[in-house]
Amino acid sequence: MAITQQTITKALDWAYEKVVVGGVPGTQDAYELAAEFSKGKGELRDQINSIIRWQNTKSATSGFLTGLGGIVTLPVAIPANLASVLYIQLRMIAAIAIMGGHDVKDDKVRTMAYASLCGNAAKDILKDVGIVIGKKMAEQGLKKLSGEVIKKINQKVGFRLLTKFGSKGVVNLSKAIPLVGGVTGAVMDGVSTNIIGNTARNLFIE
């Protein structure tokens, strides 16, 4: 099965729905994750940095991997390991957005969460539609997101992620569920996870 931009879009939507409505069985959803880390020491920025650090070391181990039964219910068109990677990363991003006081069920917030997955490239994607990441970007940027702008951002994100997953070989389409090694390798890339987490923090908090 060839991976396409449409496949990426379906996987994004599936993973995000799971993130904000109950999670994959055996894992916390974004609200539960945000509530847990909101009890941590320090100010909001410190708590968010903690969730990013935790993501680096814990999210691809026992907690998520014991709940992979939920992945079996995937729509046929979505590769399980692609959905798993996106679920893990989007859960962190959505938790950060929730901690920043945003409504993650809002389409505008969802689009910004998808953009966060692009890491450093998010700045260029948003700049192309007239949004500059900077002071109060989250507040001002979200107000600018019309339906047409949301569509453009989502298209750019889909193309970017297609390039990212294709070039890195993260998604092994020939194997449905033996994804412990593949998912762990993708998610435990500390550099990538830090960049995505920091991008989400910059979009939703600063």
Work out the number of other CB atoms within 10 angstroms of the CB of residue 187.
23
Rounded to whole angstroms, the Cα distance separating 144 from 37 reads 30
CB 23 within 8 A of CB 29: yes
- Give the model's pLDDT for residue 191: 64
Q: What's the pTM value of the predicted model, to 2 decimals?
A: 0.82
Work out the number of other CB atoms within 10 angstroms of the CB of residue 35.
13
Amino acid code (one letter) for 181: G
Torsion of CA 188, 19, 206, 101, to 10 degrees: -150
pLDDT in tens, 25-68: 777 899 999 999 999 888 999 999 999 988 877 544 544 544 45
CB 16 within 8 A of CB 77: no
CA distances, 16 to each of 13, 43, 48, 184 (Å): 5, 27, 19, 19
Rounded to whole angstroms, the Cα distance separating 19 from 2 reads 25
Work out the number of other CB atoms within 10 angstroms of the CB of residue 111.
20
Residues 6+ away with beta carbon under 8 Å from 118: 125, 157, 160, 161, 164, 199
pLDDT in tens, 176-199: 334 444 444 444 455 677 889 999
pLDDT in tens, 97-151: 999 999 999 999 999 999 999 998 998 898 888 777 665 555 666 776 788 888 9
